[in-house]
Structure 1
């Protein structure tokens, strides 16, 4: 359920990026001449759809991602015969509390990767390249989300235009982060829960 929803989030976030880009182009063109009402209405509808669909998709993915994180860390601990470094409550708060969500999610997934690679449990986890790229994208999406929210309280034409660009950038980063999350989920599941080889029975004739 998590992976399909992540793909849906990536798609609607990219639609939001295109819609916000179109809105910015229309804002620039409107300085020189009046725009067709139908085109403006289409732009507004596309922006509204992209924004609300992305918000709903992000909320759904967030809940499923937290549940998946709790499950995968338990599987990693079971595989290595260790105890998770963080409690379930700490993991949940780390995903949702501003500030903590910049560090805790990446740290937890790095611990899962560390155990999945059969490294010494007591050593400090060193996240691989894929996880580092995801961590950067995730942190950027969180920071941009806060910035876009704060920017919405500003007034003026220029602030509106800048806000459209920020929304477009946020949607693009959200789409990229969703795709990277799909790769991270598949990667960690393959490490912690490797697919078992199919056993084939062979009939041997005894003399």
Structure 2
């Protein structure tokens, strides 16, 4: 028995035609195809219509004439519309605090070298003074000695000042990173750190406190900071004593002042070296600046050593001369 049905072009559902053909599917509201009989072997998804392309028509029914060629579209000016894509130009201003913090180790190295050179320059001047007791000194040798002392002492003071500025910038950066790793806020502001490191008197106490606040469970770093702190205070006291000693009259006092200046320069050089060691230690680097290898200690577990019983004297084998020579 054949039945006339309509197939939905969307859901492929079949709907019997009871009267006139329907246009829309009751289920999905898709387009119903032309009615077909079920006994015909026509594919259910075949369409009952086809597209035909025709030329556009005028109102009168005749074909429209091709339009006249128009000029190529162009802009009279640069268009002001479009996506806003700002490109950040590299800042011409340098980040001086970060630059000085990176140069702190270099400044400390040069400071230690200049003060070490000042030690030998002061000892050379003392030798010139001793020789001058019995003989006249060549003016060229005196000029070389004066220049060496000036370069060592003045250059050391200049780079010590640069080391102090760079050290404060480095300390601020180190505190910022340490408290950021601990996910806490720094209890001291940048102004507190700068004032504590710059004001005379406070700069003998507060730098050590600021350093100890960022050290986390590192006994070697704590020891380095304490040794540097002690030497820093001793050097400041030694500088004041040196100024007092230079006010004394007499040739012997001047000669002793030269030795005292040499000793002060030696302490200053050692202080710079210790400050460099503290800086490298807190950065996790060696004294030369290389990355310090990480050592991990692991508890080794194993069977306890077994005690080997020594054989009795009666059971010990006899060793002949031939066996001794062969062994």
TM-score, with structure 2 as normaliser: 0.52
Q: CA RMSD in A?
A: 2.4
| Distance change in 2, residues 1:82/1:150 (3 Å) | farther
Partners of 1:13 and 1:172 within 8 A in 2: yes
Match of 2:232 among 130, 138, 150: 138
- Say yes or no: does 1:63 pair with 2:63: no
Return the alpha-carbon distance in structure 2 between the equivalents of residues 140 and 81 of structure 1.
Answer: 36
Structure 2 match to 1:40:
142
| Distance change in 2, residues 1:149/1:96 (3 Å) | farther
Match of 1:176 among 267, 270, 276: 270
Once the two structures are superposed, residues 170-194 of structure 1 have per-residue CA deviations (whole angstroms, 9 ceiling, x without a partner) of: 2111111111111101111229xxx
The structure that is helix-richer by fraction is 1
Count of residue correspondences: 185
- Say yes or no: does 1:101 pair with 2:195: no
Structure 2 match to 1:117:
217
Partners of 1:10 and 1:176 within 8 A in 2: yes
After TM superposition, the structure 1 = structure 2 runs for residues 188-203 of structure 1, keeping only pairs within 5 Å, are 188-190=282-284
Return the alpha-carbon distance in structure 1 between the equivalents of residues 200 and 241 of structure 2.
Answer: 13
| Distance change in 2, residues 1:99/1:185 (3 Å) | same
Partners of 1:110 and 1:126 within 8 A in 2: no
Q: Which moved more, 1:175-184 or 1:127-136?
A: 127-136
Return the alpha-carbon distance in structure 1 between the equivalents of residues 148 and 253 of structure 2.
Answer: 21
After TM superposition, the structure 1 = structure 2 runs for residues 48-59 of structure 1, keeping only pairs within 5 Å, are 48-59=150-161
Return the alpha-carbon distance in structure 1 between the equivalents of residues 124 and 172 of structure 2.
Answer: 40
Return the alpha-carbon distance in structure 2 between the equivalents of residues 14 and 82 of structure 1.
Answer: 41
